[in-house]
Structure 1
Amino acid sequence: MTCYSLDGLTPVVDPSAYVHPSAVLIGDVIIGPHCYVGPLASLRGDFGRIVLEEGANLQDTCVMHGFPDSDTVVERNGHIGHGAVLHGCRIGADALVGMNAVVMDNARIGSRSFVSAAAFVKAGFECPEQSLVMGAPASIKRSLSDQEVAWKQAGTREYQQLAQRCLTQMQVCEPLSEPEPDRPRISDSGLRPKDSTS
């Protein structure tokens, strides 16, 4: 990772967390245990504080930033999809923010809630626990079922396992010029529906 101290504050990364080498951490950033930070993520603690609590993931090209004296927080087991932007907001425990969604200042996403892909959550927006938030501007559409929340929790566990796989198995390498015969596959996580014939 590319890591910068600023104004005497150095980013903190728990040893059990995985931060991709292309991610950028600046200043007041705190990454807790078992977190995953994907390629090209930017966590800019140059004004406010940036926090990923235990088990949270922040995927490829996500941005976390805020105004001076603000906190931008993803609580325990939060799940932030590819390309999302979080600015001075709080994402509740076990919540999901979909791909390319934007969550603005002082917004609070309740625990176990989902923000849909490409949603725009206005500054100051609040939603109760276990809500589905969609649209641009976003609004609360309905409550989520326990089954939907369980699906999200399984995905978050996959990212927690991915953090450990990356810590122990990922290596810089040169690409091959062609696929090897009988090229193996990375094993199925079990999240996709199985074919009824298999």
Structure 2
Amino acid sequence: MTFYEIDGVVPVCDPTSYVHPSADVIGDVIIGPGCYIGPSASLRADFGRIRIEAGSNVQDSCTVHVYPGADCVLGESSHVGHGAILHGCRLEPRVLVGMGSVVMDGARIGADSLIGAGSVVRAGFVAPPRSLVIGSPATVVRELDEAQLAWKSNGPGVYRQLAERSLASLREVTPLAAEEADRRRVSTDASVSRPLHEVRAEREAP
């Protein structure tokens, strides 16, 4: 079971969104259209409200929680990497939270910003739009450049497609005993998305 009510409050999930069966969605959670919630993610709104806006993704083993009476909001096309923890914060649209990052109560991250992997964003921290936020404790290092913005803008679309693919074809199966000859690959390749360091190296090559 994935969805749980508490105090008579039932989660909301748009039918175009995909929530993995191993994820837990509890209480006052509102998931908008075209979202992807990954394996072992926990969205626990037993104290306050969690709102996941359209086209956002919350990836594997992420935790989203909120302190009593407050909201945690992931703005449209938020992109939350594996193992991140969001607690009572607000992400404006198109924010990327890097893998393993922690964003604490009352933090507000401006639109189109990027939080580097492993960063710890302290309570009450405010970042303006297009910020590169890195460190523990995190600071605003500079404004994102055009290459970073272009690369970052691709991620939410990849995960919206993954939500569609998962709704259409992801199912529990018995594994094969051996690899088939001419084994097929999944439907994505490097044309869909590439790591930023590869894109930069290609652009900077003489």
SS at match of 2:47: strand
CA deviation string 1:69-127 (max 9, x = no partner) = 11011100000000000000001100100000000000001100000000000000000
Residues 162 and 189 (structure 1), Cα distance of their counterparts in 2 relative to 1, 3 Å cut = farther
- Which residue pairs with 2:189 in the alignment? 188
The amino acid of 1:140's aligned partner reads V
Unaligned runs of 5+ in 2: none
Shift of 1:189: 4.8
Alignment TM-score, normalising by the size of structure 1: 0.95
Aligned to 2:41: 41
* Counterpart Cα distance in 2 of 1:146 and 1:91: 20
Equivalent residue number for residue 87 of structure 2: 87
The answer on whether the counterparts of 1:158 and 1:189 sit within 8 Å (CA) in structure 2 is: no
Whichever residue aligns with residue 120 of structure 1, its letter is: V
Q: Which runs of 5+ in 1 are unaligned?
A: none
How far apart are residue 2 of structure 1 and its match? Answer: 1.4
Q: For the residues of structure 2 that align with 1:156 and 1:4, how far apart are their CA atoms? A: 26
**In 2: Cα distance, 1:63 partner to 1:82 partner:** 10
Aligned residue in 2 for 1:168: 168
Residue matched to 1:2 = 2
Give the secondary structure class of the aligned counterpart of 2:127.
Answer: coil
The answer as to whether partners of 1:57 and 1:77 remain within 8 angstroms in 2 is yes
Q: Is the 8 A contact 1:91 1:110 kept in 2?
A: yes
Pair 1:109 & 2:109 matched = yes
Residue 130 of structure 1: aligned partner: 130
Deviations 1:26-50 (A, max 9, x none): 1000000000000000000100101
Question: What is the identity, as a one-letter code, of the residue corresponding to 1:188?
Answer: D
Q: Is residue 73 from structure 1 mapped to residue 69 from structure 2 by the alignment?
A: no
Which residue of the partner structure matches residue 17 of structure 2? 17
Which residue identity does 1:45 align to in structure 2?
A
- Per-residue deviation at 1:145? 1.4
Calculate the aligned-residue CA RMSD, in Å. Answer: 1.3
Identity %: 52
Amino acid at match of 2:21: P
Alpha-carbon displacement from aligned partner over 1:156-191 (angstroms, at most 9, x marks no partner): 110000000000111110111111111011231512
Displaced runs of 4+ in structure 1, greater than 6 A? none
Q: Which residue of 1 aligns with 2:63?
A: 63
Question: 1:26, 1:83 → 2: CA distance?
Answer: 18
Number of aligned residue pairs: 195
Cα distance in 2 for partners of 1:130, 1:146 equals 10
Compared CA separation, residues 6 and 29, structure 1 to 2 (3 A): same
| SS in structure 2 at match of 1:158 | helix
Which amino acid in 2 is paired with 1:116?
Answer: G
